[in-house]
Amino acid sequence: MTAKDLRDLSEKELVEHVATTRKDLFGLRFQHATGELENTASIRLAKRDLARAFTVARERGVQIPNRK
């Protein structure tokens, strides 16, 4: 997702996007560790998407809950 798309999301949608991206990244890391991941570049893309979401949240002053 581009930064422009993320800026168009509401605060609730942005928090949900961060949560789902974290879960996706965890799944990708798990697949990579078990040797099931064919496209390792997807980990890098997921990290960048998460960083973009954090940046937009910080710009808006949105609190992102910690992992639990």
pLDDT of amino acid 66:
83
pLDDT in tens, the chain (68 residues): 899 999 999 999 999 999 999 999 999 999 999 999 999 999 999 999 999 999 999 999 999 988 65
pLDDT for position 60 = 94
> Model's pTM, two decimal places?
0.89
What is the set of domains in the chain, with CATH numbers? 3-58 (1.10.287.310)
6 touches 53 (CB < 8 A):
yes
Predicted pLDDT at 50: 96
CB 33 within 8 A of CB 49: no
